Amino acid sequence: EFDKFVAYAAKVGFRCDYGTMLQQLMHQNPQGAVEFAKKLASAEGGPLIDIQAATDVFMSMNRVQECTAFLLEALKENKQNQAALQTKLLEMNLLGGSPQVADAIMQNNMFSHYDRQYIAKLCEKAGLFQRAAEHFTELSDIKRVMANTHNMNPEFVMGFFANLSGEHAIELLRELLGRGPSNLQLVVQICQKYNDQLGAEKCIKVFEDFKSNEGLYYYLGAIVNSSQEAEVHFKYIEAASKLGQFKEVERVCRDSTVYDASKVKSFLMDAKLADPRPLIHVCDRNDFIEEMTAYLYSNNLLKYIEVYVQKVSPQKTPQVVGKLLELDCNEDFVRGLLNSVGQACPVDELVEQVERRNRLRLLQPWLEARVATGNTEASTHNAIGKIYITLNRDPVQFLNNNQFYEPAVLGKYCEKLDPSLAFLAYKKAGGACDEDLLRVTTENGLFKDQARYLVEKQDLELWAVVLAIGEGEEDPNKRSLIDQVVQTALPETKNPDEVSTTVKAFLAAELSLELIELLDRIILQGSEFSNNKNLQNLLILTAVKCDQDRVMEYINRLDNFDGPEIAKIAANEQYMLYEEAYVIYNKFAKVDGISEEEKNGLYVMGVEVLVDKMKALDRAKEFCERVSVDECWSKLAAAQLIEGMIHDAIASYCKAKDASNYTAVIAAAEAESNYEDLVTYLVMARKDVKENELDTALIYSYAKTGATADLEQMVSSPNVANIMEIGERCFLEGLFDAAKLLFESINNNAKLALCYVNLGAYREAVDAATKANAISTWKEVNIACVKDGEFRLAAMCGLHIIVHPDHLEELISTYEGVGQPLELITVMEQGLGLEGAHAGIFTELGVLYSKYNPDKLMEHIKIFWSRMNVPKLLRACETALLWDETVYLYKEDGQHDSAVKVMIDHATCFKHDLFLDCVQKARNQEVHYKSITFYLEQHPMLLVRMLQVLTPTLDHARAVHMFRKADALDLVMPYLKSVQKENLTAVNEAINEMLTDDEDYEALRTSIDDYDNFDQIALAQKLEKHELLEFRRIAAFVYKKNKRWSQSMNLSKQDKMYKDAIATSAASNDPALVEELMRFFVSVQDKECFCAMLYTCNSLVKPDVAIELAWRNGYTDYAMPYLIQYVSYISDKVAEIDARTAPKKEAELQNDAAAAAANMMYGDQTMMITNGPAGYGGMDPSYGGVNGQMGMPPQQMGMPQQGMMG
């Protein structure tokens, strides 16, 4: 029961030699040894046996199987540090005759850290070629292994290529093919499976390099249907052709859309296969018809040509026929070919192919046969028409009567043969070929035919095209066309629509002179259209636009035209034929049969021409006197008014009794200040018109002419005038008497007060302002009174003004502008008790005090500061440099920061108690530090008091920095001590510095003990150089606190403060340092200190060192107390050990028997309990001194206390 050994050993703390136990067990029970080794390797606290050592035990007895079983269990966690053991496991099986075990281990992927290259070589030697291939990484090794593919599973080989790079896979494929055709099938399968990874191009190159058409055929046959690479399809066609697989060649050529048609065509032509159907498919699908035809014809494969055009592609017969004609093929064969195709052959393309080769007559029988069957196809009739035109077989009759040909086609064909035939063909198109018709007739001089066609067609768009030709320059062709239209086409026509359309076309083309020529021929030279009203209108209007010298002649010679309308056009600004327009109005006003109203209307339009266009006012006045029409006088008056003839215009309006234009008359008369004539006109106009503007203008005219009596009568009588407006106008123009009358009539006291002001009646003005009670009136009256020195009346007005905050500043500006601020202060002081007194009054009075009477300002502020606009008054005080008042306002307004800043900037207003009151309420911390600076510079003796006030809010480190910079630390020492309780570095260092400078070592020692937040090493370095001993002792003390024992002890030795040095060495707990100090005391022959060291540091003193130093230097008496104590301690310890090692009791004897049995099993090895740590002499270190060294506890040993310290 070996597993119980482990549990028991763990329980009693016994360390067993499991290696020896395993070795002995191997001789007796190998299988048990395996199980025991597994349990040792998989123990809970970690392996109890070294795995390598256990492996050596197994292998020393050549136990490969048992070692394998053990290692599989021990290495199951697959750790990196077990790589060598993993390699060892595989190696012992591969070399030990059990390669199948190694194969199984590798197949299960149990390990991953072994030496793969080494194992690969062993696998290759053991015949495990698949495992060798998996493990090798070099291509040369893989090639060597792959030479044994006959011993490998084909599926493994297929899968193996999935892990190779493309280049390595191709190289390996070449290696396989190079070893003979036995690997061909495998290579083909690999290329098929990994086609996407390897690339078809590289795979094809492999087969071609080894001239393996069969392999290439089978490989490409598997991928050609899914591949989109042209080269793949081509190579497959090539390989199939070489192997005689013509069915496959035909299939791919027929179905594939990927291959390069030109390349395949060239290959098939060069290969000259016995069956040309693949070539036919390629050429038919890719339109290589002519090359195919030439190939079949040159190889005497006419039967295939017939089959192609009859069954494969009849629609491509024209291309076949064209190529056969180029090859001088027998015409009978071509005709037979066409007859066999029949109606399936496209005629247009056939005619184009044959006509290009000048063999059109070849088709005549075939075409006539199609026509005879009732064919109405346009292409057929086009072709037969071309033959008839070429042969001159009555082409005119064909072109006029045939309904099926295309005019554009035959017209184009006839242009070079006979332009007149082309004209007939284009004319037959019914307008579809008008462009070609115009081109042919123009190029060939057929203008008469062109003119007749245009007139008959009545197409304005077509006319526009023709008449636009050569626009902007003299075009002889257009001139020839117009001549034929005027001389031939229009005289021949009897249709008025044709004439109308032609005239519209000329108008649209802006051929005005040509149109005049045309109309003159039609109207004045006698025709059926001479009295046509529209044509007469058109003739005159065209002359107006283009030939104005003939307009008057046409007006006098013609009678049947629209006179008034033409007159309006003639009088247009564009033509300015004013005289002609005036003649037309007179001519048509005298025509019999028109009404009086129409006659007067024509007279008015005649006057309009005279006054508006010709500006002949004198002729217009004579004309008005002759016709005596009121409307004419009105037109004349309006023109005279525009020309500034006010007197004549008013006279004309009065003759016309026309008051409609009173607004313009009033404006013109007022502009020239002609109010006398204006009164005459307005009195006339007021009889018929009751308008506000008329009455207003009449009252104003009375005011301007000084007709006061008429003005009073007019105002008192009923009227609709705007009295307020007139009053304002008179007031602005300085007519104050008239304005006073007007404002009195409407009880406008505000304006009335202003009138009194301008008239100098201030008492009356104040009375009127009282009635008006308007702020604007009070302001105007106040300003006038102030400027004229009437301050009592001005004060009465001012009291009504100051209660309005918006107008207070304006009132102040008025008084200050005339230099009377004291009068203003009086008014403001009176206003303080008003019911409507507001903050502005108190504020502005304060501002006035700051400017003109500063002595009263402080009292005013203290009484009324709560009712003031403090910011505004602050600005005034600052402007006036009244700093006491400024500070008081800032304080009362809660702006303590600003109050402090003012006292800092202006020392004259500084008050210590007030400053302290404000500064502790300041919110901005920067103000506190500015205050500190201020006190340092100006009031240093009061600084501590201020710091006491600011202590809760200060950053003490920053404050200390300021004091240090100002060299004022001694000044603020009370403050520093009050805040040292916060244990701040800056404060502690400042206090320590001051105490050092003051040589107060007791306070410094207390400070260091109580507050340790400072740079202690820096202080110690500073103090160790101090001239006073107590400060150097403090330096040693600081070093000791920071555990710099050596520096502290050396400093104490230098100053012969041996007690401090001994205390430091004892506190260091360092035996080496203690020994050093003991040797120092020996060197200076200080026996008492040596003895004190043995007593104080007894737990740190090495007994051998102490005894040696005492014996060699004669200090035995001084070391004897230590030796006595040490011997006593050792004696007690030995007694304790004897007690522990006394004979055991019966129960303990049983345990010893069990241990003896185990000893017999494991041999003569000595068993030792080694759990406890080794101490001095094998004892527990708790019996010794510090750090495991032997020592003894200090005791009161009657040593001398006096004279022992140096």
pLDDT in tens, 1103-1156: 888 888 889 888 888 888 888 888 888 898 888 888 888 776 665 556 665 555
Residue range 867-915, pLDDT digits in tens: 787 888 888 888 888 888 888 888 888 888 888 888 888 888 888 888 8
List pLDDT tens digits, range 985-1038: 888 889 888 888 888 888 888 988 888 888 888 888 888 888 898 888 888 989
User: With 60 as the cut, is the pLDDT of residue 1198 above it?
Assistant: no
Q: Is the pLDDT of residue 722 over 60?
A: yes
Q: pLDDT at residue 10 above 80? A: no
DSSP 405: S
Q: What percent of the chain has pLDDT over 70?
A: 90
Which long-range CB contacts under 8 A does 824-832 form with residues at least 24 apart? 824/798, 824/848, 825/849, 825/852, 825/853, 826/795, 827/795, 827/798, 827/799, 827/802, 828/802, 830/795, 830/799, 831/798, 831/799, 831/802, 831/803
* Beta-carbon count within 10 A of 525 CB: 8
3-state secondary structure at position 773: coil
Q: What is the pLDDT of residue 501?
A: 76
pLDDT band at 5 (very low <50, low <70, confident <90, very high): low
What pLDDT score does 1183 carry? 31
1190 pLDDT higher than 60: no
Which three-class secondary structure state does DSSP give residue 625? helix
1191: pLDDT strictly greater than 50: no
**Range of weakest confidence among 61-65, 376-380, 936-940:** 376-380
pLDDT tens per residue, range 429-464: 777 777 777 777 777 777 777 777 777 777 777 777
Neighbours of 871 (CB within 10 A): 12
Q: What's the mean per-residue pLDDT of the chain?
A: 78
Q: What percent of the chain has pLDDT over 90?
A: 0
Q: Which residues of 901-918 are buried (b: 16+ CB within 10 A; e: fewer)?
A: bbbbeeeebbeeebbbeb
| Helix, strand, coil percent values for the chain (each to nearest 5) | 75, 0, 25
Using one digit for the tens of pLDDT, what is the confidence trace for 1043-1091?
Answer: 889 888 888 888 889 898 899 988 989 899 988 888 998 888 888 898 9
314: DSSP letter: G
pLDDT digits (tens, 9 = 90+) for 393-426: 788 887 777 777 778 777 777 777 788 777 777 7
Is 854 strand, coil or helix? helix
Instruction: Identify the pLDDT of residue 45.
Output: 67
> Residues 525, 528, 531, CA angle at the centre, nearest 5°?
75
Say which DSSP state 183 is in. G
pLDDT tens-digit map of 290-325: 888 888 888 888 888 888 887 888 888 888 887 887
Nearest Cα to Cα of residue 147 among 165, 172, 164, 169? 172
Q: What is the pLDDT of residue 198?
A: 77
Are 386 and 360 a contacting pair, CB within 8 Å? yes
pLDDT value of position 1206: 31
**In this predicted structure, which of 4-8, 717-721, 797-801, 883-887 has the lowest mean pLDDT?**
4-8
Terminal Cα distance for the chain, rounded: 74
The predicted structure's pLDDT at residue 4? 67
* Residue of 563 and 1074 predicted with greater confidence: 1074
Checking if the pLDDT of 1178 tops 50, the result is no
pLDDT digits (tens, 9 = 90+) for 759-806: 778 787 788 778 777 777 777 777 778 777 777 777 777 777 777 777
- Cα gap 225→221, rounded to integer Å: 8
| Contact (Cβ atoms closer than 8 angstroms) between residue 399 and residue 428 | yes
DSSP state of 392: T
Is the CB of residue 848 less than 8 Å from the CB of residue 828? Answer: yes
Cβ atoms < 10 Å from Cβ of 317: 24
Residues 6+ apart with CB under 8 A from 306: 337, 340
For residues 752 and 728, give the distance between their C-alpha atoms in angstroms, rounded to a whole number: 11
Q: Residue 1177: name the closest of 1130, 1110, 1116, 1113 by CA.
A: 1130
Global model pTM greater than 0.75: no
What residue has token string 């340790």? 1012
Distance between CA 955 and CA 518 in Å, rounded? 112
Query: How high is the pLDDT of residue 1001?
Result: 87
pLDDT in tens, 524-533: 666 666 667 6
Amino acid type, 317: T
Q: Which two tokens stand for residue 803?
A: 């209660």
Is pLDDT of 171 > 80?
Answer: no
Contact 575, 548 (CB under 8 A): yes
Query: Looking at residue 115, what is its pLDDT?
Result: 84
Q: Which amino acid is at 1062?
A: I
According to the model, what pLDDT value does residue 1144 have? 63
CB 75, CB 82: distance < 8 Å: yes
Give residue 1171's pLDDT band: very low, low, confident or very high (50, 70, 90). very low
